[in-house]
A and B are shown apart, each in its own frame.
Chain A
Amino acid sequence: MILNHSHTDISRNEGCTLTGALSVTCFLQDAVTVIHGPAGCTHHNASLLHASLAENDCSDIPLLVSSNVSEEEVIFGGEGALMQAIRSAESYNPSLICVISTCIADTIGDDTAAVCRERRGIPVVHIPGSGFLGGGFSDGIHNALMRLMDLSSPDISSPDDSMMIVGEKNLEYEAEENYAEVSRLLSLLEIDSGLRFVRRMPANDCSRISSARYAILRDPSLYPIGSALSSRFGTGIISGFPIGLEGSLRFLRQAGEVTGIDSYAAIRDEEGMQEDLVASFSDLRGIPVSINTSLADPGVLGAARTVMNSIGMVEEEPGIPIPLPFDPPVGTTGIRRMLQSWRRCISRA
């Protein structure tokens, strides 16, 4: 029994486990996700995904199937309804069916895993998604990645030298820009980005996860996933996306160490780019600004203050309030976007 009586906050990381799992499975191409629970769980999440994806100019709503658990299933068990939902999902001929169990399914004790294990023509993977057992949004992501990892072939006879990207935040606004920045930095070391586990990834590519020799985690909280990749397949792990100016240089150094590539020249190039960036925002030098630190992510705050110092901006009260991004700015390009938003803000003040 999980005893967690502490009050939770309402940040995304403390949100619904089911939503976290969906933020992974809905970004598998050619897969269908079955949500084993009441129709409302599916409807609510479909709305949320639709709204989040629309913000990113994507109008494709992921295909979700609900087992539509009602009072009858609660009383008599919902495994029959789940089997029916899986059959419905099979009719779309996907390469993979992901089944996410909800709070209701686990409360009444449905053996969702056993139903998923039944032999079928299409692989069916069970992802635990009931948040009442103590998990949150992040646990949903972890559960999904771990279960999808199980689909990987243990055969690593043809290793892939490109860099696998693990656990991208599919619902964040700048997911593609962040990916592009990581790819740019890797290209300085002449490393290609490989599998995006999971973002717009063909479901069949789950079998290739083991062949990736190196992987970058989206952020350090995905450590358990990195650890599993490392212990099961010997994957070399970089613990997170680069944050800010200093983080970008550290990232290049770390990627060089993991892959055995000399990173000296790449770091010199990036330092040059960062100097150019600072110079291009010299109009902000000496301007008194203020930032709201009360709810700021420490990573965001650190990256912001580093670049403020480099430019020579002055943090004082009362200064012109400047916004901080929700997620830490990824790479040198992330810092550029943050500075551009500051410049717009200051020019309007």
Chain B
Amino acid sequence: MRQIALYGKGGIGKSTTSANLSAAWADKGLDLLQIGCDPKHDSTRMLMNGRVIPTVLDVIREKQKDISVSDIVFTGYRGVRCVEAGGPEPGIGCAGRGIIATFQLLEKLGALKGDLIVYDVLGDVVCGGFAMPMREGYAEEIYLVTSGELMSLYAANNIAKAIARLSANKRSSVRLGGVIGNGKNIPDEEDLVSEFAQRIGSRMITFIPRSPTVQQAELNKKTVVEYAPESSQAEVYRRSADIILQNTTFTIPTPLSMDDLESLAYRYLKE
């Protein structure tokens, strides 16, 4: 069983990327479990043909006990098993603790299984709860999803800090698998993300260009891989899925200082 986690700034396209990668892997016949770790709970919606599934925390709140796997794990596109951690109502409680409780429940129910587990994790919040997927026993491969926007790079750099810190623990085997560039049509964006990846001691493993097909697929409540399998965008996702599957290069990142990060982004803006 391989466990990977995709981290990135909110709204940067983690869920779209995760869902399309999962769909591509499912097409290859792999047994997939995708876990959305974002209170927004829309990671798996396209895999479920637009259905918003009950979140683990909703179920915990309503049922409290006698929770079974079928209450929280739902089957979507080509048998991909989908889970959404969910979160408390905005402005109250502790979402990070909610992620921890979700993991504990999934483990207790024996639901963390399959050829591949994909964690789709919000990268803006850097408390211990949102670092849970990186802890011992969970994802060992982390992929940072980022565009060329400064705040997106900033969030990715922050996650790199978390990986570096957790890697210091001898028992931890969490490593950075690479950076996934998710294009926002910024000039020289691919080069910027690629240089950022190198500067933090990793590499840009794939770059996903911006495409109207993504929006069309989402409006049809499907992943691109399902909605337009012949499209060039679907091919990008499939190729990216293959690269990640074949990836054997994992590093402990060397995050940038804020000054270095800003000057990197500034240089690309000027050129």
Minimum CB–CB distance from B66 to chain A (whole Å) comes to 15
Binds B, one of A71-79, A122-130, A152-160, A311-319: A71-79
Beta-carbon contact of B101 and A76 below 8 Å? no
The answer to whether the Cβ of B64 comes within 8 Å of any Cβ in the partner chain is: yes
Among A73, A74, A79, residue most surrounded by chain B Cβ atoms (within 10 Å)? A74
Q: Which of B89, B92, B95, B101 contacts A71 (CB 8 A)?
A: B101
The answer to whether the Cβ of B97 comes within 8 Å of any Cβ in the partner chain is: yes
Beta-carbon contact of A71 and B97 below 8 Å? yes
- List chain B residues, Cβ under 8 A from A72: 60-61, 64
Beta-carbon contact of A77 and B93 below 8 Å? yes
- List chain B residues, Cβ under 8 A from A220: none
- List chain A residues, Cβ under 8 A from B88: 75-77
The answer to whether the Cβ of A61 comes within 8 Å of any Cβ in the partner chain is: no
B 98-109 to A, binary, CB cutoff 8 A, 1 in contact else 0:
100100000000
Beta-carbon contact of A108 and B94 below 8 Å? yes
- List chain A residues, Cβ under 8 A from B98: 75-76
Minimum CB–CB distance from B260 to chain A (whole Å) comes to 26
- List chain B residues, Cβ under 8 A from A71: 97, 101
Q: Which residue of B lies closest to A71 (CB)?
A: B101
Q: How far is the CA of A3 from the CA of B64 in the complex (A)?
A: 37
- List chain A residues, Cβ under 8 A from B97: 71, 74-75, 108
The answer to whether the Cβ of A134 comes within 8 Å of any Cβ in the partner chain is: no
Q: How far is the CA of A74 from the CA of B60 in the complex (A)?
A: 13
For chain A residues 83-111, which have a beta carbon within 8 Å of chain B?
A: 107-110
Q: How far is the CA of A107 from the CA of B92 in the complex (A)?
A: 11
Indicate whether A76 sits within 8 Å of B89 (C-beta atoms), given known contacts A71-B97, A71-B101: yes
Beta-carbon contact of B89 and A75 below 8 Å? no
For chain B residues 69-99, which have a beta carbon within 8 Å of chain A?
A: 88-89, 92-95, 97-98
- List chain A residues, Cβ under 8 A from B89: 76-77
The answer to whether the Cβ of B57 comes within 8 Å of any Cβ in the partner chain is: yes
Q: How far is the CA of A71 from the CA of B60 in the complex (A)?
A: 11
Minimum CB–CB distance from A37 to chain B (whole Å) comes to 14
Minimum CB–CB distance from A87 to chain B (whole Å) comes to 19
Minimum CB–CB distance from A83 to chain B (whole Å) comes to 13
- List chain A residues, Cβ under 8 A from B93: 73-78, 108-109
Residues of chain A at the chain B interface (Cβ within 8 Å): 71-79, 107-110
Counting from the closest, the 9 A-B pairs by CB-CB distance are A77-B92, A77-B93, A75-B98, A76-B93, A76-B88, A108-B94, A75-B97, A74-B97, A75-B93
